[in-house]
Structure 1
Amino acid sequence: MSDLVVGEDGLARPPWASTDPLLRAYYDTEWGMPVRDERGLFERLSLEAFQSGLSWATILRKRPAFRAAFDDFDPERVARYGDADVARLMADAGIVRNARKVAATITNARATLDLRADGGLPELVWSHQPETTPVPTSQAEVPTTSPQSVALAGSLRARGFAFVGPTTMHALMEAVGVVDTHLVGSHRRGTSGLWREDGSRA
């Protein structure tokens, strides 16, 4: 348990989730829990893309502003965005104002709608769930990519998605429960109901 920090509440967490109250709450209640709805996955896909090159804490603090700016990540509404919406978003200091990432979010909303004819975004993402999940005992053992994240990135790119590289998709898979990379000994290990502590499917 060398990489785990035991808090005043007696619960063991990784260092990144042990001090900042916002990150701790996210870790304790949301990260790694299954997300299977289209809007929820589109939001997390979008936020992971915006996080590229930045800290997750930055994105998490801006999430309320992101939700307001992107119509609560309703893909049908975002898919209709035009030049005026892009200008509005690029003037919004509450979000990350990156033209390529804004454009990718709109592109991905349209691709999400197109996917409905072929099973939908949740089906595609969850079809890449592996048979086993990592069993890391230290942060150094937590992978940043996997064969499944490489495959998911390729599947999404083939369907018109942008900003969906293997590392970003691995982070998405961790965040929405497709894999469980909680450290062994963490109070969150295995709590998604999908994975046992030994890495096998529940």
Structure 2
Amino acid sequence: MMRRTPLASTLGVALAALALAAGCNEPAGAPGGAAEKPAETGASSAAQPAALKPGDAAPDVTLTLHDGKEVKLSSLQGKQVLVYFYPKDDTPGCTVQAKGLRDGWADLQGAGLDVYGVSTQDAQSHQAFIQKYELPFPLVVDADGAVARAFHVPLRNDVATRQSFLIGKDGKIKQVWLEVDPKEHTAAILAAAKS
């Protein structure tokens, strides 16, 4: 029987931490990153329900916002809605993505979009993130991962993967991004919203 050396144990912990951090720290398109592209239909995993696809009804979940308000997703029918999942508040990739949405806010509003960011951090973390970067849109507290599961978004170590869903005025999924480039995402959302 082999004994684990302290170095091997330390290396294992470090690799696990790097894998977790990569969700928000490694920009897509970098080596090992993923270029932004809409979801392809038919892709599924044995451990994860099949991804939602364009034409599917959006899950009718209740979103609990950072300020304690609740919004039932079905109450937004008649508007285009972006529900985007991100790993963690105030980390490099997630900050780039949020700031891109903030900087494109006038165009997003012009396209008639409501935006909701979703992660598993608590209301206090979300509020600090909003204040620090002057985000004009609400963040959803999904501490138990129920909203992520409703959208079939994988959780890794209780952290959501970066995926986005554009919901049309009819309440159906209009576009899905299973791989998101934080730097380019706002432009891709706007193009899809205008189509």
Same fold by TM-score, threshold 0.5 exceeded?
A: no
Q: TM-score range by the shorter chain?
A: under 0.3
Q: Which has the higher contact order (CA 8 A, sep 6+)?
A: 2
| Greater helix proportion | 1
Q: Higher strand fraction: Structure 1 or Structure 2?
A: 2
